[in-house]
Amino acid sequence: MEIKLDGKTYRTKKIKAAYVREAFELIEYVGERVDLEKLDRMIDFVVQLYDEQFTAEDVYNGLEADALYPTLFGAIIGLTNGITEKLESKNVQPEAAPKS
């Protein structure tokens, strides 16, 4: 995965499984409405995902306003979709949760 900030391209290295879990949690947490706290959490996650090659300030100053949400959501959802696609390509289906 890659992200462009202020004309510079950053790439992720190997992504740890913990980030996948956190990405799913973040998607659920954000829901349909983003406020300041959620925005900060999304940016912090993306900074961590890219192994702190840039800062939250770099994100705010390096992106055009109309690219902020697509870039953040693209990184977060791209991570989860990438994992799902890899599982599906190997015919791995998640097990259904046991009924209580």
Residue 12 is assigned to a structural domain of this protein = yes
Residue 70 is assigned to a structural domain of this protein = yes
63 has a pLDDT exceeding 90: yes
Domain carrying residue 26: 2-82
**Please, which pLDDT band fits residue 6 given cuts at 50, 70 and 90?**
very high
Residue 17 is assigned to a structural domain of this protein = yes
Residue 41 is assigned to a structural domain of this protein = yes
Residue of 81, 75, 77 lying closest to 53 (CA atoms): 75
Q: Which of 33-42, 70-79, 86-95 has the highest mean pLDDT?
A: 33-42
Q: Is 34:43 a contact under the CB 8 Å cutoff?
A: no
Query: What are the structure tokens assigned to 37, written together?
Result: 């706290």
pTM listed for this prediction? 0.78
What was the pLDDT predicted at 38?
96
Q: How many helices (H) and strands (E) does the chain have?
A: 4, 2
What was the pLDDT predicted at 15?
86
Residue 29 is assigned to a structural domain of this protein = yes
Residue 64 is assigned to a structural domain of this protein = yes
